[in-house]
Structure 1
Amino acid sequence: MKTHFKTLIIASMLAGAGVSAFAYKDGDAMMDGKPRAEHRRMDPAKMEEMHAKRSADLKAKLKITAAQEGAWTAFTTAMKPPARNAQQRPDHAEMEKLSTPERLDKMRALRTQHMGDMQAAMAKRDDATKALYAALSPEQKKLFDAEHSRKGSQHGSKHH
């Protein structure tokens, strides 16, 4: 009986090692079947270019008037992706000097700050969108609603 148990344990360990080896390819960790390199963020310059193009397309479709320009500018400014700040990431050397409980507390504080920043940015976007929407004509509102709902469904299907 003991021999069968040992054989089962050894087989389980070998299977686990095989799965681990499969997860790595050429020293590059795999995520969702793709090398980690494919999961990197898009180039900020390309993101800015795409944002500017989408904004220009929407402005043309809505036919924004001179009277609506202020609300439009506030809207597009609020919608720009935030710049990535190097301060967002903790200093590795500093973190290694901390004990585990201190490190956990530091990470919790950073997460809390990050979530607060995200909430503030989302509130700013919501307010700017509502201000622009209030400045639009009924025809423009219909167009905006159609564009906004399409953007939301594209975003959702892309990530789910």
Structure 2
Amino acid sequence: MISLRQRIVWASLLGSAALASSAAFAQAPTAPGAASTPPAAVAPADGTASKAQHKRMDPAERMERMNEHRAKRLAALKEKLKLTAAQESAWASFSSASQPPAGARPQRMDRAEFAKLTTPERLERMQARQAERSARFAKRAEATKTFYAALTPEQQKTFDAETVHAGMHGHRGHHGHGGHTAPAKS
């Protein structure tokens, strides 16, 4: 068994080696006339470049991409459910309730403006935003329950399987990006 002291020694040796190699790499001259790849064009394996690119994307363009992705997911779900004509009105209510509000996201207050507010005023603003989000969630939840009740037991199983990750939106730490995992190979 490796002692704590040995672990520290090995970690410092590995750290020193990594530091020395990165310093040598950073100081390596490039050949004149050789095509060098700009740092932005090289994507690290951990996906941090794509995350940074997402943050810099135009908000309108980002919203458009999100809406396209949402429409594809809903279309795929509808196809998998194999809805009957009698279930179409319930689907329409469910899918319209699943859409974000028409007026996109309300603009956030400027940080400097927010900082000028007193603590009770900031709390009231945050509480009002939370109440708006809760009301939208309650509307979506009710529409989902109504749609779910209109499904057959087999369709309900499909719906459950296809929407299991929907409640985890934003909690991407456990299964990687979006909680999607590759199917197991037999």
With the shorter chain as reference, the TM-score category is: 0.5 to 0.7
**Does the aligned pair in 1 maintain the 2:114–2:122 contact within 8 Å?**
no
Who is 2:73 aligned against? 54
How far does residue 103 in structure 1 lie from its aligned partner after superposition?
3.1
Which one-letter code corresponds to 2:100 in the other structure? P
Aligned length: 122
C-alpha separation between the residues in 2 aligned to 1:110 and 1:49?
A: 31
Q: Mean Cα displacement is larger for which, 59-68 or 37-46? A: 37-46
Gaps of 5+ in 1: 1-33
- RMSD over aligned CA atoms reads 3.1
1 or 2, which has the higher helix percentage? 1
- After TM superposition, the score normalised by the length of structure 2 is 0.55
Residue 162 (structure 2) pairs with residue 143 (structure 1): no
1 or 2, which has the higher strand percentage? 1
Gaps of 5+ in 2: 1-47, 180-186
Considering Cα pairs closer than 8 Å and 6+ residues apart, tell me whether 1 or 2 has the greater RCO: 1
Residue 86 (structure 2) pairs with residue 71 (structure 1): no
C-alpha separation between the residues in 1 aligned to 2:66 and 2:178?
A: 17
- After TM superposition, the score normalised by the length of structure 1 is 0.62
How far does residue 93 in structure 1 lie from its aligned partner after superposition?
7.3
Go from structure 1 to structure 2 and tell me whether the alpha carbon gap of 1:148 and 1:91 turns closer, same or farther (over 3 Å shift): closer
How far does residue 92 in structure 1 lie from its aligned partner after superposition?
6.2
C-alpha separation between the residues in 2 aligned to 1:159 and 1:67?
A: 33
How far does residue 67 in structure 1 lie from its aligned partner after superposition?
1.1
